[in-house]
């Protein structure tokens, strides 16, 4: 498993505003979109491309286009939806699937309640959007789901992560082709399974249900 933690002043600045408990839901949503676009730049570093001949106003030359089958972006509902716009702005030709997972707040185990994905993901590059990598349960289950359908490789974009969650994903994925791209690595999980210092419940803050 490959791990990339963003090291950029703009990411740190936007994260600082995102963490602030006084940040309103509209601002939170806008910052989430901006952060994901910044993280997506790194996440798509190895996106597959195909050479193509093009004609500029001056002459013919060679360029590239995103290869077929196109990559697929998979937000984990519901909080992952808040990250979708930031990702598709950078990769507008990507397909979009959905995976509904929720964490049982007593057992911390993931529960799947919905999915809208192709039955066959063979040769597909998949990008999973999940704002908070806490215990790793939901993200790990999502990664397993995608590989079970034939995904070639999976890149997960998370705004924040706890070391416990990263370690859990590392153990779970083994030698499969998985990359984690994080906005920041926080200190730890508390006894309720929340990231510390974190930013609270991302879904609640995105949609104003705090």
Please state, as a whole number, how many other Cβ atoms lie within 10 Å of the Cβ of residue 54.
11
Q: Calculate the alpha carbon distances from 33 to 136, 152, 202 in Å.
A: 22, 26, 13
Is residue 29 flagged as an active site residue?
A: no
Cis upstream peptide for 78 (omega within 30°): yes
Is residue 59 flagged as an active site residue?
A: no
The single residue of 23, 88, 177, 204 carrying the catalytic annotation is: 204
Let me know if 178 is exposed, middle or buried by CB neighbors in 10 A (0-12, 13-18, 19+): buried
Please state, as a whole number, how many other Cβ atoms lie within 10 Å of the Cβ of residue 121.
22
Is residue 204 flagged as an active site residue?
A: yes
Report whether 8 contacts 41 (CB < 8 A): no
Furthest C-alpha separation in the chain: 64
The single residue of 19, 103, 149, 176 carrying the catalytic annotation is: 103
The single residue of 37, 149, 177, 201 carrying the catalytic annotation is: 201
Is residue 116 flagged as an active site residue?
A: no
The single residue of 2, 107, 116, 188 carrying the catalytic annotation is: 107
Residues belonging to the active site: 103, 107, 201, 204
């Amino acid at each position: 498993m490959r791990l990339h933690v963003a090291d950029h002043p703009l990411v740190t600045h936007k994260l600082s505003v995102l963490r602030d408990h006084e940040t309103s839901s509209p601002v939170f949503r806008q910052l989430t979109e901006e952060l994901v676009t910044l993280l997506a730049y790194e996440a798509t570093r190895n996106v597959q491309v195909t050479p193509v001949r093009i004609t500029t106003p001056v002459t013919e030359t060679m360029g590239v286009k995103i290869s077929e089958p196109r990559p697929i972006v998979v937000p984990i509902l519901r909080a992952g939806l808040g990250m979708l716009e930031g990702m598709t702005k950078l990769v507008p030709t990507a397909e979009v699937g959905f995976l509904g997972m929720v964490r049982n707040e007593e057992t911390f185990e993931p529960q799947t309640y919905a999915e809208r994905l192709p039955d066959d993901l063979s040769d597909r590059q998949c990008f999973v959007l999940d704002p908070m990598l806490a215990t790793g349960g939901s993200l790990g289950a999502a990664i397993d789901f995608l590989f079970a359908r034939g995904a070639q490789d999976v890149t997960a974009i998370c705004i924040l992560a706890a070391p416990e969650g990263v370690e859990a994903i590392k153990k779970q994925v083994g030698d499969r082709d998985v990359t984690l791209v994080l906005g920041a690595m926080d200190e730890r999980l508390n006894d309720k399974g929340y990231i510390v210092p974190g930013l609270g419940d991302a879904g609640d803050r995105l949609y104003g249900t705090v």
